[in-house]
Amino acid sequence: MDEWSYNLYTGCLIRSRFPHVEKSARVVFRRLGVDLTEAADVGCCPEPVGMRSMDEEAWLTVAAHNMSVLASEGRPVMTLCNGCYSTFRETEHLLSGNRHHRKVVNGHLASIGREYVPGLEVEHFARFLYEKIGPRRLKELVVSRLPGLKVAFHAGCHLVRPSDLLAFDDPENPTKIEELLRSLGAEVVDYPRKSLCCGFTIVGVDPDLSLKMGYEKLKNMKSSGAEAVVVVCPSCLQQFDMNQRQMERKFEDKLELPVFFLTELIALALGESPDSLGLALHRTDALSLVQALWLNGDTSAEGISQVHAAQAGE
Amino acid sequence: MKALREFIKERNIRRRARACYQCGSCVGGCPVGRWREDFNPRRIVEMIVRDELEELVRSDIIWLCTACFTCLDRCPQKIEVTELITQLKNAAARIGNVPEGERKKARFIAEEGRSGKPVGKILKQRAALELPDLGQDTEMTELKELMNILYREKTLHQECSSSDEEEQVKD
Amino acid sequence: MVDAVRHPRITLMTLTEISSCSGYAGNFRVTLEKKPRYVEDTCNACRDCIAVCPIKVPSEFNLGLAPRGAIYQPFSQAVPSTFLIDETACIHCYKCVDVCEKGAVNFSQKPEEIEVDVGAIVLATGFDNFDAEALTPYGYGRYGNVITSMDVERLLDPAGPSQGELVCPSDLSTPKRIAFIQCAGSRDLNHNEYCSGYCCMASLKTAIHMKDKYPDAEIAIFYMDIRTPSKGYEEFFRRAREAGVLFIQGKPSEVAPAASGDSLFVCSEDRSFGRPVQWNADLVVLAIGAVPSAGTEELSSRLVVGLDENGFFREHHPKLRPIDSPTDGVFFAGAACGPKDIPYSVAQGSAAAARASRVLMNDRLVIEPIVAQAEPTLCRNVTHKCGICAKRCPFGAIQVEPGQPARVIPAKCMGCGTCVAECPTGAITQAHFNDLQIYTQIRSYLSERPEDKILAFMCWWCSYPGADNAGVNHLHYAASSRGIRVMCAGRIKREFVYEAFRCGAGMVLVSGCHPQDCHYLTGQHWAERRMNSMPDRLERLGISRERFRVEWISAAEGRKYARVINEMDDTLKELGRVRIRQENEAVRPGLEKKLIRVPDIVCAPLGHAEAI
C-alpha cells in the first residue's frame, strides 16, 4: 500500500464554522492510512474571490507568503476547501508563468525578509480521494453501504474551473466524485444546470440574488429526486446548509435537503457513528435522514458494531 | 482619473479584451446574468474595448461577478472575462467603489489575517469532537506586518476608511 | 460516380491505400495496398446475404442511427455496388457463403500489394465531421435530443433510417420546436479556429426543408454571423427568414435539460435585446464543421506533402497556387486542403484535372535551372547520421539513405536554397546562386568605402519587389543601400553576414517574405531561426548589435522598405565612420576565424573581387 503523508490545511471557514467537517475529514484520512500533520498556522489562504477582487497584488503576495512558509515545511499540503485550492493553484500558475508578478510579489516579501519559494505541492482532498484512493478501493473498505440514498453532487466552481489550469474533471458534467459516491452505495441523481455556481461569493454584494441562486440549485436537485446534497467545499456547504432555512422562508418552499460534506458520507459508510461525527451540528437536519437510512436500509449492523468494537479496542 | 488610466494600462486590461468577437456565450451561461440582465459580461468586455472604463469602474455592476470562471472556460476566443472583471474590481477598490459587505470582509482579513474566527461555541464543539485545540492561536505578526506594508501605500486602505467615500458608496 | 466507374480509361480501386510513393512529376511510382473485400465482383447486390447475416453493428453512413450487418453495402448508391465484409465485426458463421447464389463470398482473399506508375496524383481525400462530443456544454451524447447537422441529414433522407420523418431520437416523436446552433466547434480556439464555411448554408437549407415539411414547427437558428458570400446564397438567407425561421444572434453557452421530460433549453444571449434567453427546444441541431479526414497525416508523410496548422494539406500558395501541392505533379481537389462547399469543390476538382493533364500531355517536363546539387564526396551522411538537408526541404526533393550521400531529385527541387545554407559541410550548392557568386557580389559592393554602405540581402519574391515598389512609387530612401538578391531568405547563410562585416560593411540587412507568405513554404522560417541569434553572435565578436537587422517585407511594402533603409542609414550616421571602421578592424581576426572553413575565400585580398 502506498504511504501518504500530508500537511492538513483546513482553511478559515472550516476552522471557524464547521468543526464536524474537519472531524469527518480527519477520521476518513486516518481510516485510509493517510498520515496527516498540522500545517503551520499561516492564516487565510487568502480567499480567492473577495480579497482578489479588492487587490489582486495583495492577494497574490499573501498567498505567495503562505505557500513559501508551507513549502519550507517540506510536506505536501492537503486542502479541504475549493477556495484554498484555487488560491494556491492560481498563485503558483501566475508566479511561475509571469516574471512581472514574481518581481512585484518578491518586492513586497523582501520587506519582511522573505522570498517566494516555488514547488509547494497542493492537493484537494476530493481529488486525492478519487485519484489516489479511487472508487474501487473505497468500495472494498465500505462496511455500511448507503443503499439507494439519492444524492445530488455539487462540485463547486473552483474544483474544476478554470479547467485549463486545474484539469481535474469535465467542468460541465463532473462525474469523478460521483463515482466515489456510487462506490459508497449511494444513488447519484443528475439535475439540470449542474455546473451553475451556488452564489455564495456574492452574498456581500447582493444577498437576495445570492440566496436566489442557491435556492434555484437546491430546487433543481430536489425536483430531480435528490434526498441529500453532497459538496466538497465549505463555501458551498455554508450556502446550501446554513442559508437553506433563509431560502425556504424567502421563497416559501420547504426544501429540507440535508447537505453533506463528502468526507461525512464516506465516514458514515466506513462505519463511523453519526454522533462521533457531530452530524447534529448541521443547520439543516441531516441526522433524521441518516437514522432513517440506518433503520430501513439493509446496512450490515454487524459490520458497524465490529468497527465500533475495534475502535473501542484501540 | 489619471491613476485609473495608468492602472488600466499597467494591467493590460484593454489589450486582453481586444480579441472578443461579441458572441455572447459569456452571457448565456452566466449564473448572475440570468437573474440580473444589467450584468452582461459581453457588454462589459465591449466597454473595455471601447475605452468606456470609467463608467464601469464607478458602477456597482462589476461587483456582481461570482468569479465562477464559467465564461472563461467556455469563451471561444479565450478571453479571460472573469480575470478582466477582477481587474475592474481592483480599479474600483482604488477609488473606493466597494460594496459594504466586501469592504467589511476585506478589512477583517487585513486586520486578522483570517476570513473568520471561531467563536466560543465552535471551540466547545471542537473540543467535544476531540479536534486539536485552537486555544493558543498564532498571533500571525509576520502576516499582519505584510498586510500593513501591502496596504500602506495603497489608496485602497486610506479611501476605504475615509468617511466621505463610504457615504458615496451608500448612495 | 457510376459514369466514372464505367469509363474505359478510369480504374477505380476502392479499399486501397497508398503505402509509399517515389519518383517525381511524370514519373511517380506508387505502391498501393488493396485490402480484401471478401466478396468477388460477381456479386449482383441481391441482398440475400444481408437477410441471413446475424450481426448488427452501427452503420457508418447512417451515423449510428441505423444498423448494418457484417456483410453490407455502405449505402445504396455506393460504387462499386459489390458488397463487402467488415472483418472486425464478422463472426465467421458463413451463412452468407451458403446463401450467395453467385458464390461471390470469398474469405480466402488476402491483402494485395500493387505497384502503379503514374504521371500525376490528385488528392481528393475529403473531410471528416467534427466530433460533437467534444462540445461538453452542448451535451451531445449526453442528451438524446441533441443531434448534429449530419444526423439531421440522415433523418430527413427519404431513404434514411426514419424514412425522411424528422423525429426526436429519445422517443421518436415529431419535434415542435427545433434549435440550430451554428459554429459548433468552429471559430473556436478551444476546437477549430477556422470557419468551415458551409454550415450556414447547410442550416438554412435544412431549416427551409423542415418548414416546408412541418409548417407549424418553430425553428430558431442561433448564430454569430450568417455567412453567405457566394452566388445566390444571400437570397437564400432571405427565403429562410420569409419562411418564418427565427434568427437569434448569440452563441449558446450551454444546452440544459428541462426539469422533467426530454425537452431542452438552449441557454444563450439574445443580442437583439442584450439579455439572456432560455429557448425551449424539443430537438437541438449542432451545425458541426469539417476536420481533416482520418489518415491525412499518414498520407502526408508518405507523399511528403506538408500539412497546415489545422491538419489539412497545405497548398503551394493559398492565393496563387491553391490547386498545387508543393510537390510538382501532386494536386488537390475538394476539402483535402480545407473545408469547402459543393460549388467550390466541383470547381477545384475540374481545376485539378486540368492541372494534372498539363503534366500528362507532355513527353518532357521543363523545370527551372535553379536547383540544388549535392557533392557526394563532401556529404557528411556517408560517415555520420545527418540528413539535415532532407529535413529542411519542404518539397521532399532530397533523399537520404543511411550511409549514402544525399541525393537531390532535380525535378522536385524548387530552388529555394535552404538546404545549401543549412548543410554543415557545404556539400550542397545551388546552381546560379552558388556561394562563390554570392561572396563575389558581397565583395564587389563593398570594394569601396564599405563602412558607408548598407548591404541588404533580399528574397526574390517579396523583399526585392518590395524595394522595387519603393522605387516605382518614387519614395525617397538613403542611397547607401546595396541589394543582393537570392531566391529565398532561407538561402542566406550566417557566413554571408560575417563576410560582409569582414569586408567592412557599415550595416547588414537580412530581409524576406512575411512568415505566412514564404514562396518556399518554410524557407523564411529557417532563415528566421538562423538569424535570430545573429545580434548576440555579432555582439560577442564585437560588432554593435544595431548594425544588423532582420525585416520581413512584402512585395507591396515599398514604404516599409524605404523606412527600414532610412532608419538604418540614420543609425549608420549616428555610429559614424570612425567607430565602424574601428569595430571592423577589431573584429576582422575573429571573423576570419569564423570564415576559415570557407576555402579560397578568406585568403583573397580585400577590395579586389576579381582576384578570386
Q: For cell 460521483, what's the residue?
A: A178
DSSP B133: P
pLDDT of residue B137: 62
Site from A14, A53, A276, A314 to mutate, B interface, most B CB atoms within 10 angstroms: A53
H-helix segments, C304-458? 342-361, 388-392, 418-422, 435-445
Q: Are the CB atoms for A177 and A266 separated by under 8 Å?
A: no
The whole-model pTM stands at: 0.86
- Distance from C-alpha of A286 to C-alpha of A151, rounded to nearest angstrom: 13
Site from C253, C254, C255, C266 to mutate, B interface, most B CB atoms within 10 angstroms: C253
- Distance from C-alpha of C166 to C-alpha of C173, rounded to nearest angstrom: 8
CB contact under 8 A, A205 and B101: yes
Residue C137 is nearest to which of A172, A220, A224, comparing CB atoms?
A: A172
How far is the CA of B96 from the CAs of B2, B65, B105, B167, C52, in angstroms? 15, 18, 15, 10, 80
- Which regions of chain C are under pLDDT 50? 602-612
- Distance from C-alpha of B101 to C-alpha of B115, rounded to nearest angstrom: 13
Please indicate if any CB of chain C lies within 8 Å of the CB of B120: no
pLDDT digits (tens, 9 = 90+) for A257-281: 999 999 999 999 999 999 999 999 9
CB contact under 8 A, B37 and C252: no
- Distance from C-alpha of C464 to C-alpha of C63, rounded to nearest angstrom: 53
How far is the CA of A183 from the CAs of A137, A180, A305, B59, in angstroms? 9, 5, 21, 48
Cα A256–Cα A286–Cα A283 angle in degrees, nearest 5: 75
Cell, residue A233? 467545499
| C-beta pairs of C603-612 under 8 Å, 24+ apart in sequence | C604/C443, C606/C443, C606/C503, C606/C504, C607/C443, C607/C447, C607/C448, C608/C443, C608/C447, C609/C440, C609/C443, C609/C444, C609/C447, C612/C436, C612/C439, C612/C440, C612/C443
Residues of chain C contacting residue A220, judged by C-beta atoms under 8 Å apart:
259
Subunits next to A (3 or more Cβ pairs <8 Å) are B, C
DSSP sequence for A191-216: -TTTTS---GGGTTT-HHHHHHHHHH
pLDDT band at A282 (very low <50, low <70, confident <90, very high): very high
Q: Which amino acid is at C317?
A: H
CB contact under 8 A, B143 and A65: yes
Secondary element (H or E) of residue C499: helix C494-502
Please indicate if any CB of chain C lies within 8 Å of the CB of B36: no
DSSP A132: I
- DSSP E strand boundaries for C443-587: 454-459, 481-486, 507-512, 548-552
Q: How far is B6 from chain A (nearest CA, A)?
A: 15
First to last CA, chain B: 20
pLDDT band at A298 (very low <50, low <70, confident <90, very high): very low
CB contact under 8 A, C257 and A223: no
Q: How far is A136 from chain B (nearest CA, A)?
A: 30
Residues of chain A contacting residue C259, judged by C-beta atoms under 8 Å apart:
192, 220, 223-224
pLDDT of residue A3: 81
pLDDT of residue B1: 62
Q: Are the CB atoms for C111 and C33 separated by under 8 Å?
A: yes
CB contact under 8 A, B73 and A212: no
How far is the CA of C291 from the CAs of B22, C181, C185, C244, C516, in angstroms? 25, 18, 10, 32, 21
Subunits next to C (3 or more Cβ pairs <8 Å) are A, B
Residue B67 is nearest to which of A17, A43, A49, comparing CB atoms?
A: A49
Blockwise average pLDDT, block size 10, chain B, 171 residues: 77 91 97 95 96 91 96 96 95 91 88 87 93 75 82 50 38 34
Please indicate if any CB of chain A lies within 8 Å of the CB of C257: yes
Q: Are the CB atoms for C218 and C179 separated by under 8 Å?
A: no
Residue C274 is nearest to which of B28, B34, B43, comparing CB atoms?
A: B43
Q: Are the CB atoms for A298 and A147 separated by under 8 Å?
A: yes
Query: What are the two backbone dihedrals, phi and then psi, of residue C292, each rounded to the nearest 5 degrees?
Result: -55, 145
Q: How far is A167 from chain C (nearest CA, A)?
A: 14
Average predicted confidence (pLDDT) for chain C: 93
Q: Which amino acid is at A185?
A: G
Cell, residue C284? 437541438
DSSP B11: T
- Distance from C-alpha of B56 to C-alpha of B156, rounded to nearest angstrom: 18
Over range A204-226, report the average pLDDT.
Answer: 96
CB contact under 8 A, C137 and A220: no
Over range A1-20, report the average pLDDT.
Answer: 90
CB contact under 8 A, B64 and A209: yes
CB contact under 8 A, C254 and A170: no
pLDDT digits (tens, 9 = 90+) for A56-114: 999 999 999 999 999 999 999 999 999 999 999 999 999 998 888 999 999 999 989 99
CB contact under 8 A, C254 and B78: no
Site from C133, C135, C138, C142 to mutate, A interface, most A CB atoms within 10 angstroms: C142
Please indicate if any CB of chain A lies within 8 Å of the CB of C258: yes
Residues of chain C contacting residue B30, judged by C-beta atoms under 8 Å apart:
253, 276
- Distance from C-alpha of B134 to C-alpha of A73, rounded to nearest angstrom: 20
Residue C188 is nearest to which of B27, B71, B76, comparing CB atoms?
A: B76
- Distance from C-alpha of C446 to C-alpha of C484, rounded to nearest angstrom: 12
- Distance from C-alpha of C462 to C-alpha of C456, rounded to nearest angstrom: 13
Mention every residue, 6+ apart, whose C-beta is less than 8 A from residue C447.
C607, C608, C609
CB contact under 8 A, A173 and C136: yes
Residues of chain A contacting residue B129, judged by C-beta atoms under 8 Å apart:
19-20, 22-23, 276-278
Residue A14: is its pLDDT beyond 80?
yes
Cell, residue C94? 458463413
Over range A282-298, report the average pLDDT.
Answer: 81
Q: How far is C192 from chain B (nearest CA, A)?
A: 10
Cell, residue C217? 414547427
- The total of other beta-carbon atoms located within 10 Å of residue C15's CB is 11
Q: Which of residues 72-91 of A touch B (CB under 8 A)?
A: none
Q: Which of residues 32-91 of B touch A (CB under 8 A)?
A: 32, 35-36, 60, 63-70, 72-73, 86-87, 89-90
How far is the CA of B36 from the CAs of A50, A216, B40, B86, B92, in angstroms? 20, 14, 8, 18, 20
Cell, residue C424? 554543415
Q: Are the CB atoms for C398 and C374 separated by under 8 Å?
A: yes
Partners of C123 in beta bridges: C332
pLDDT of residue B134: 81
How far is the CA of C128 from the CAs of A304, C51, C76, C294, C295, in angstroms? 56, 30, 21, 7, 10
pLDDT digits (tens, 9 = 90+) for C226-257: 999 999 999 999 999 999 999 999 999 999 99
User: Nearest-CA neighbor of A45 among C251, B161, C14, B143?
Assistant: B143
Number of CB pairs, chain A paired with chain B, less than 8 A apart:
184
Provide, rounded to the nearest whole percent, the portion of chain A with pLDDT above 70: 93
Write down how long chain C is: 612
Query: A216: nearest CA in chain C?
Result: C259
Residue A192 is nearest to which of C137, C142, C257, comparing CB atoms?
A: C257
- The total of other beta-carbon atoms located within 10 Å of residue A5's CB is 11
- Distance from C-alpha of B100 to C-alpha of C439, rounded to nearest angstrom: 75
- Distance from C-alpha of A51 to C-alpha of A36, rounded to nearest angstrom: 29
Q: Are the CB atoms for B119 and A18 separated by under 8 Å?
A: no
Query: C188: nearest CA in chain B?
Result: B76
Q: Are the CB atoms for B91 and B4 separated by under 8 Å?
A: yes
Strands A77-79 and A34-38: what pairing?
unpaired
Q: Are the CB atoms for B44 and B62 separated by under 8 Å?
A: yes
Strands C454-459 and C507-512: what pairing?
parallel
Please indicate if any CB of chain A lies within 8 Å of the CB of B108: no
Strands C71-72 and C84-85: what pairing?
antiparallel
- For chain C, the C-alpha Rg in angstroms (whole number) is 31
pLDDT of residue C2: 85
Please indicate if any CB of chain B lies within 8 Å of the CB of A46: yes
Cα C367–Cα C319–Cα C527 angle in degrees, nearest 5: 70
Please indicate if any CB of chain B lies within 8 Å of the CB of A38: yes
